[in-house]
Amino acid sequence: MSDDNPLAAVDRGGVGKGFVIGAVLNLLQAGLLWLIVTNGGSSALGVLIVGPGGFSLIQLIYMVPIYLYFRSKDETETAKGLMIAAAIVMLINAGCWLAVMR
């Protein structure tokens, strides 16, 4: 067989790889926000940063460029894993705020 086969399988990354990258980035974000709020940050700043939707909006700032990077490298499965991790964090955030607001 020839190595220049146009029908050869293309490495599209892995959903697990993207999920792990997304989960680690989300944990780093949570840790940094926790440090900001607990070390000299005001409670108003904490509510503003971590308030309803705030965590998810901050997540968009770094998740979209990473998603686009993996899409440009044709690692679509890795990009899917990133979006799965982001969606899970967004749903957890929304659920927690729903419980607090009740």
pLDDT, one tens digit per residue, over 24-82 is 999 998 888 777 777 766 666 666 666 666 777 888 889 999 999 999 999 999 999 99
| Domain boundaries, position 27 | 15-101
Asked if residue 48 is part of any domain, the answer here is yes
Chain centroid to CA 74: how far?
A: 19
d(CA 78, CA 64): 13
Q: What pTM, to 2 d.p., does this model score?
A: 0.76
pLDDT at residue 38, as a whole number? 76
pLDDT at residue 49, as a whole number? 62
Asked if residue 76 is part of any domain, the answer here is yes
Structural domain count of the chain: 1
Say which residues have a Cβ less than 8 Å from residue 80's Cβ, sequence separation at least 6: 15, 18
Asked if residue 65 is part of any domain, the answer here is yes
Say which residues have a Cβ less than 8 Å from residue 90's Cβ, sequence separation at least 6: 56, 59
